[in-house]
Amino acid sequence: MPTKNVTTAAFTDCYKVLDMALANKGVRIGFPDRNKATRFRHRCYKARSLLYKASERAVQPGTLPSTPYDDIVIRFESDVKPGGSTQVLLLLLRSQEDLPEITDLDGKPIKPIEPDFTEIKLEGI
């Protein structure tokens, strides 16, 4: 079955919102109903997928592909407004979120260990 050729130009609205989320460390978008919010969320993920596939073709073998939007998480957030309810999508930067509480087996809080990459030598960087 032939696949439909889709270009990034079909997702300019998504890229604008994703760029706003990066610039503002997160945004909220209101929709009149959950179906429209769901469609837009799927379109944003498809837009990211297209960029990821383009990145796969562009990077050197052995290099991990990435997009500027890899850090963005898109969640539903119900928001009740006067005159009716609206479905809100929340676009957050995963790196800005707090980690959940981590405890040892006795229930004592543990501070996460920060990774140390000083020993790693990256050639060409």
Number of H helices, E strands in the chain: 2, 3
Identify the DSSP state of 63.
S
Mean pLDDT of all residues in the chain?
Answer: 84
- Which residue in 12, 78, 20 sits closest to 46, CA to CA? 12
pLDDT tens digits, 36-58: 999 999 999 999 999 999 888 88
- Label residue 3 by pLDDT band (50, 70, 90): low
Which pair of tokens denotes residue 1?
A: 């079955």
For 93-111, the pLDDT digits (tens) are 988 877 788 889 999 988 8
> Which pLDDT score, from 0 to 100, does residue 1 have?
45
pTM of the model: 0.71
